[in-house]
Amino acid sequence: MASPATSRALVSQRAADKNVLSGTNETPRAAVFDQITNEKIQQLAYSLWEQRGCPEGSSEQDWIDAEAQVLNKP
């Protein structure tokens, strides 16, 4: 699983890429929402991973579980 700093950097880069494509220097509201949502998912995924004892190879499932909780998916 990527570190919190790495995940934030990737989300920030994604928002910056959207700005370049749209020709604006301002962060669109959707990009801000995406960044906040992704940060919440990342933090929860990390917490879930820690709660399970930090096992190797479970980052994808931790992310899926965290995403479902944050986005209220069944």
In this prediction, residue 63 carries a pLDDT of 92
In this prediction, residue 17 carries a pLDDT of 55
Mean pLDDT, the chain, integer: 77
Residue 10: band (very low, low, confident or very high) from pLDDT cuts 50, 70, 90: low
Q: pLDDT of 41-56, one tens digit each?
A: 999 999 999 999 999 9
SS (H, E, C) the chain: CCCHHHHHHHHHHHHHHHHHHHCCCCCCHHHHHHHHHHHHHHHHHHHHHHHCCCCCCCHHHHHHHHHHHHCCCC
* Residue 46, burial from CB neighbour count under 10 angstroms (0-12, 13-18, 19+): buried
Rounded to an integer, the average pLDDT of 18-33 is 64
Q: Where is pLDDT greater, at 20 or 53?
A: 53
